[in-house]
Structure 1
Amino acid sequence: MKTETDVVIVGTGAAGLFCALNLPRDTRIIMLTKSDLESSDSFLAQGGISVLRDEEDYDSFFEDTMRAGHYENRRESVDLMIRGSRDVIDKLVGYGVEFEHRTKDGLTETAGKEVAVGGGTGIAGKEAAVGGRTEAAGDASAGGGTGIAGTRASSEEFLYTREGAHSKPRILYHKDITGKEITSRLLEQVKRLENVTLYEYTAMTDIIVENGVCVGILAEHTKSGRQGETDSEAAALREHPEEDGILQGEDACREREKAEAPGEDAGREQMEIRAGYTIFATGGIGGQYAHSTNFPHLTGDAIEISKKHGIRLEHLDYVQFHPTTLYSKKPGRRFLISESVRGEGAVLYNKKKERFVDELLPRDVVAAAIREQMEKDGTDFVYLSMEHIEKETILRHFPNIYQRCLEEGYDVLKECIPVVPAQHYFMGGVWVDSDSRTSMPHLFAVGETSCNGVHGANRLASNSLLESLVFAKRAAMKIREKMEGRRRDDSDGI
């Protein structure tokens, strides 16, 4: 199959989706994903998304990010991420993303749908302690101010949690499934766009380069790899097999139950997609590790293709191991125990049930301390205790973690759980500038597969979703600028 489009986005995680949403509605966009639409690491993010609470928070946010990254961060990128955070949150709330908040009567709920996003540029207000390591923001005002405000702001306060290496609570969250909440809302919005065509089970195999310029990609589409269909959909596919695995527009994008990926004997179709602009949004490299929190199909495809074509790469050895994943002898993806659990008061114990590290140090420091303690103890794990967290907080803030641990035979309300570090995040990747442009013309990279230097040698907790969205938008804005410039040039020549 050969086709042409304005923009092709390889990946359907938060970065790729946000790119599509920030491009003009008359731009023809093709998006493809190696698995099903929801199997991106963006869906797995638990803890939350960092945000600049107010101008007084800027210096500490900047310093926290730099310190966690061992001061190897690109300062310009850190500044752009922090300065762009409030606009990103405004947009997310506008898309229906619901963040936790506290009402005047003391109840904690989710907020977002009724919050106005027209006039503000972020979240602002006085910080008020509400107990533990979680804080709420109040006194947000509507209109032309600098805060996310709305009809309910006078009676409700957004809650912030704290994670390792953050000097204060500045993380917005939705229970312990923030990534799923954000990415599913973005996916809902993209599915409504008639200018976007989505291909599932479609793997990029190479890029097309002409005269040193990227002009599209080559891909392989697994024709029977579509998510489970209804009987009527299956009948339609038998009549129109060329549409198998292709989703376009709202009518064809009804929610479906996930089906397992197809077997090796499934039919495959080679694709040539020519595009004015190509965007890598292929995620991390966890599939190359035996123990990772990532989906196994995330194997660094964009990295290998970039090597082949001499596209600049950076810091390929900067790999982050998350300190706390649930220990298991079973093969497969490791279940993350969010850092926000420690932010709310959980502690780490050795085999004698003694604390051995400051739980809120940067991730690489805590992970190293855990491995050192495991060697001392002669064990395959250390213990995480939530005994210092109120039961109500655990059930409200961490329902997913609580339930998963129960399924594995652990009741976090009554006992410690075994945890161990596992590969989690890739700080290196395809080198990009502040507008997410790679070293090859017309080729962009966003999200975990890119390296804009914002994380340095070690990522600060809950900066991943923020960085992905801020620089995805910058990529879209740069492409928009280039396309509008070409249109002006074309009209001038008539």
Structure 2
Amino acid sequence: MRSADVVVVGTGAAGLFHALFLPRDYKVIMITKKEVEESDSFLAQGGISALKNEDDFDSYFEDTMKAGHYENDKGAVEKMIRESPQIIKDLREFGVRFDEKDGQVQFTREGGHSTFRILHHEDLTGKEITSHLYEEAKKRENIEIMTHCTMLDIIEEDGECRGVVYQDAQGNPDVIEAPDTVLATGGLGGLFHNSTNFRHLTADSLAVCLRHQIELKNINYIQIHPTTFYSKKPGRRFLISESVRGEGAYLLDKNGERFTDELKPRDVVTAEIRKQMAKDHTDHVYLSVTHLDGERIKKRFPNIYRQCLEEGYDMAKDWIPVTPAQHYFMGGIKVNLDSKTSMEHLYAVGETSCNGVHGKNRLASNSLLESLVFAKAAAKDIAAHHGELKEVAVDLEPYQNGDQLLEDNKRLVLEELKRKDRDFYDQWCNDEN
């Protein structure tokens, strides 16, 4: 049995950013299922949105609300946008670099945005941000990171969270006691046959919350990304960033004809692609940048260019086959603007949480920003209302077969998703489940 002031489950951008803003005299233990680098935060390509100036506020607010079908929480949207300049400043202080030209930050535009307000680092923005946060966390003596440790359950006593039960690298169950617990376990792509997510992201936090009657919200609000690299090989789908369309790429049918506005919100573009595939009796369409400057494309998207080249396609010369796949989770564990769940001393941040920012459909490049804004809010709230460590007795016998419990958790979440939205389940989940 171990103890800490705060235990954080997950080491993506949200979990790391949260830990870095906790008081330095707090002992923080972070656990992660795999290696730190194996989080979706490292995969984020496009960029991070930010308020360029006060004149852009109304436009940014409207773009976010429109993409979310006006189901967004207005207070959460305003908080995210207002705090975005400070978040960018924080990231720069941690050493994060954004692309510049002649000393000025270069902004790009993606689907659903009415103007250029997205900062980026080549096509590896998530890696640039998360790797710097990780390097900073390793320097902090108060932060301990435990890899290959999987949360099996939270510890509940008297209606409060007192820590977590986890399975270590050898498959043995153990306990971390803590006055405050933060869930930052990412998305649920591991439940889908076609997903851009790492396969080990299987909604562990959602299952735990279902078992403890902790409130969830909109768990059927799952974003399908319209342009992932088409392949018949199993495994994670490689994302062709929306930034490629933002830079002028065309979507083409089997005859090489454009069939939609490439800069519509993701759910609209996804629907148009599926409609076109049905019309053409194909399982993919094409994304083309062959009409653009090839050298500029190679420089702007070096990672995507390299990945496509490895699959046998030269972006500068070839149309790239793409198809929609599961990408992002807008729903999740219901939290307030301080990232508090319905259980005392339990917080949720990042993709596993739902504060209402994204509504029914996330606006491009709002994910990293939202994760960081509300992870920082959770750190501030914990510092202001930190609980006391209370010893608890935990029977580890029910957790001896952790692998089976994790499989049961996957089925539990899928059954809840099917109950909430049978049409979505039948359309996207049945290939594998």
Query: How far apart in 1 are the matches of 2:353 and 2:230?
Result: 30
Could you tell me how far 1:269 is from its partner in structure 2?
2.4
RMSD, aligned α-carbons: 1.0
4+ runs deviating over 4 angstroms:
none
Partner of 2:409: none
- Pair 1:102 & 2:101 matched: yes
Query: How far apart in 1 are the matches of 2:61 and 2:119?
Result: 17
Q: In the TM superposition, what are the counterparts of 1:42-441 in structure 2 within 5 Å? A: 42-103=41-102, 156-222=103-169, 267-441=170-344
Partner of 1:35: 34
Query: How far apart in 2 are the matches of 1:3 and 1:350?
Result: 57
State TM-score, norm by structure 2. Answer: 0.89
Could you tell me how far 1:393 is from its partner in structure 2?
1.9
Aligned to 1:324, what secondary structure does the other structure show?
Answer: strand
Query: How far apart in 2 are the matches of 1:219 and 1:164?
Result: 40
Could you tell me how far 1:486 is from its partner in structure 2?
7.7
**Native 8 Å contact 2:179 2:388 kept in 1:** no
Query: How far apart in 2 are the matches of 1:433 and 1:177?
Result: 30
Structure 2 alignment gaps of length 5 or more? 390-433
Structure 1 or 2: more helix by fraction: 2
**Native 8 Å contact 2:2 2:175 kept in 1:** yes
Query: How far apart in 2 are the matches of 1:356 and 1:470?
Result: 37
Query: How far apart in 1 are the matches of 2:110 and 2:183?
Result: 29
Aligned to 1:99, what secondary structure does the other structure show?
Answer: coil
Query: How far apart in 2 are the matches of 1:439 and 1:213?
Result: 10
Could you tell me how far 1:69 is from its partner in structure 2?
0.2
Question: What code does the residue aligned with 1:163 have?
Answer: E
**Post-superposition CA distance 1:212-237 (Å, at most 9, x none):** 00000000011xxxxxxxxxxxxxxx
**Alignment size in residue pairs:** 389
Query: How far apart in 1 are the matches of 2:176 and 2:317?
Result: 55
Question: What code does the residue aligned with 2:84 have?
Answer: S
**Post-superposition CA distance 1:385-434 (Å, at most 9, x none):** 00232223211110000011000000111110100000000000000000
Pick aligned residue for 2:385 from 468, 479, 482: 482
Aligned to 1:207, what secondary structure does the other structure show?
Answer: strand
Query: How far apart in 2 are the matches of 1:76 and 1:41?
Result: 27
Query: How far apart in 1 are the matches of 2:231 and 2:3?
Result: 46
Aligned to 1:205, what secondary structure does the other structure show?
Answer: strand
Higher Rg: 1
Question: What code does the residue aligned with 1:439 have?
Answer: S
Partner of 1:259: none
Question: What code does the residue aligned with 1:441 have?
Answer: E
Query: How far apart in 2 are the matches of 1:296 and 1:59?
Result: 38
| Highest RCO, 1 vs 2 (Cα 8 Å, sep ≥ 6) | 2
State TM-score, norm by structure 1. Answer: 0.78
